[in-house]
Structure 1
Amino acid sequence: MVQAIPKPLTFEDFLEQYPDNGGIYELINGEMVEVNPTGSHEEVVAYLVAEMNLEIRRQQLTYFLPRTCTIKPNTPNTAYKPDVVVLDRAALAAEPLWEKASTITRRESAQLVVEVVSTNWRDDYGHKLTDYEEFGIAEYWIVDFKALGATRYIGSPKVPTVSVYGLIDGEYQVSRFRGSDRILSVIFPELQITAEQILTAAS
């Protein structure tokens, strides 16, 4: 018997078929994948959201952090739901899918994306990194609070690390922060938090 191979979902299919069950789903190479964050993962996300919102108010920036947001990179049949995304309100008027589906299709809209590492660390350091780079996200943070990433990403011995990838001439350049290192961010240049504060937010 010949078994039919399921047809990959397009981005349009993903939006139309997105489950209405409160779950979080991403589209990876045409397959809808459910994301199940742990409690400690969510504690780290909550800390970052609080600190970034405070900085936005303090500096009176035009940014905001949506509760949920889909990013459609240039890669076909792919859509991501970042743990944290910083959007520029001024750019959203040109987004064709923002009002209908809280979806970003233009690089100007998303200033910064954060992925907090869980068991799918290969995604965060792999195709998400390359897709965000190609899409043109100015700054991408990988928060590896359990030091799950390979040594080629966080060094040896492996310790909890915040990797900040900044886009320079179309390519990401990485800076890694650990312990008492203050996080250096182009998007939030006056942010006064350390790697340790982020990495121990779930302790």
Structure 2
Amino acid sequence: MSAPVVTAPPRRLTVEEFLTYGQDDDRRYELVRGIPVEMPPPSERHQLIITALLHLFNRAIAERGLLYEAVQLGLQTEVDTIRIPDVLVYQKLADASAGLDARSGIVWLAQDTAVVAVEVVSTNRRDDYVVKLEEYARRGLGEYVIVDVGKEQVVVHRRPVVEDGKYGEVRVYRRGEAFGLEGLGGATFEVEPLLGGGTASKLVRAEVERLWAEEAARLEAESRAEAERRAKLEAEARAEAERQAKLEAEARAEAERQAKLEAEARAEAERQAKLEAEARAEAERQAKEAEQQARLEAEARAEAERQARTQLEAELARLRAQ
């Protein structure tokens, strides 16, 4: 932020007294070791960056279902010091509704709910890089981000060492890179839009375009999936029809085979019946011939007997004549 303006009151203020300080004007103040310090209004670019960060952070919070809010609130860093980061990410306490009228707008030392603070640097480099860094580290703030427009970089501080007022991890990101924040569930943010002065409206439009593109891609993917599903169903239907046709063809072939076997069986039965009939006819013929032969033999015997009797009678007659 821009260089602060020190306003010397008649005496140092307590935090409770500071809550009502300057309520009659439109200026904003920080309390630095009991002294109210006026915060000059941010430049247009400064404000654009803050608005963009609020949008990006709150979008990441919503996407991940985090119980956080990205706002501009006061943060008590020492007993008699209250800072107002350009962006503060904090978690509201479940019982924070009590006494809000007297203490609204401040995240207190007793509330270990602040997770990320952001300062946008323009001229007050020492305050942001040294003084506030030490205060935020001693406060135990998980991550402290410095957006440095002049140096065209974003510096992320992590792992506060409370007793030393330092951070154990410091990483610098430049244009073309993206920085991640553990306090926001690992969400990443590109440096270029911030340093390039991208407005929140542009970011929102880009976000809307991204969402529309994702929705179009989703609909297209669903359409492809539906087409594939329909094609699969049609292929399965064709396969089932072919299977049924094959089964029917096999059934017809089996029926024809059975019919052929039955016809062959009938033909064999008819042949057997014919053979049996021929056998019966032959037997009858042979019986008839045997009967005729027996009749002829009987007639021959009778003729022989007649001739023998005739000879006997003739011999008897001869003998009587003698």
SS in 2 for 1:112: strand
Task: Tell me the equivalent position of 2:279.
Answer: none
The AA in structure 1 aligned to 2:136 is Y
Deviations 1:88-118 (A, max 9, x none): 12x3636976553221113521111101112
> In 2, are the aligned partners of 1:113 and 1:140 still within 8 Å (CA)?
yes
> In 1, are the aligned partners of 2:91 and 2:113 still within 8 Å (CA)?
yes
Task: Tell me the equivalent position of 2:95.
Answer: 93
After TM superposition, the score normalised by the length of structure 2 is 0.52
Deviations 1:129-155 (A, max 9, x none): 1011001111110111122xxxxxxxx
User: What pairs up with 1:160-199 in 2 under 5 angstroms?
Assistant: 160-168=152-160, 170=162, 171-172=166-167, 173-199=169-195
Return 5+ residue gaps in structure 1 as ranges: 148-159
> In 1, are the aligned partners of 2:137 and 2:161 still within 8 Å (CA)?
no
SS in 2 for 1:86: strand
Which of residues 130, 134, 151 is equivalent to 1:130? 134
Deviates more, 1:125-134 or 1:99-108: 99-108
Structure-1 separation of matches of 2:48 and 2:96: 33
Structure-2 separation of matches of 1:64 and 1:183: 19
User: Aligned pair 1:19/2:23, yes or no?
Assistant: yes
| Structure richer in helix, relative to its length | 2
Q: Which structure has the larger Rg?
A: 2
Return 5+ residue gaps in structure 2 as ranges: 1-8, 200-322
User: Aligned pair 1:29/2:33, yes or no?
Assistant: yes
Evaluate the alpha carbon distance shift between residue 53 and residue 116 of structure 1 in structure 2; reply closer, same or farther with a 3 A threshold: same
Report % sequence identity: 29
Higher relative contact order (CA 8 A, sep 6+): 1
Q: C-alpha root-mean-square deviation of aligned residues, in Å?
A: 2.3
After TM superposition, the score normalised by the length of structure 1 is 0.80
Evaluate the alpha carbon distance shift between residue 96 and residue 104 of structure 1 in structure 2; reply closer, same or farther with a 3 A threshold: farther
Deviates more, 1:57-66 or 1:162-171: 162-171
Structure-1 separation of matches of 2:130 and 2:17: 24
Evaluate the alpha carbon distance shift between residue 41 and residue 202 of structure 1 in structure 2; reply closer, same or farther with a 3 A threshold: farther
Which of residues 65, 70, 78 is equivalent to 1:65? 70
The AA in structure 1 aligned to 2:107 is I
Task: Tell me the equivalent position of 2:144.
Answer: 140
Aligned length: 184
> In 1, are the aligned partners of 2:138 and 2:161 still within 8 Å (CA)?
no
> In 1, are the aligned partners of 2:116 and 2:143 still within 8 Å (CA)?
yes
Task: Tell me the equivalent position of 2:49.
Answer: 44
Structure-2 separation of matches of 1:190 and 1:174: 16
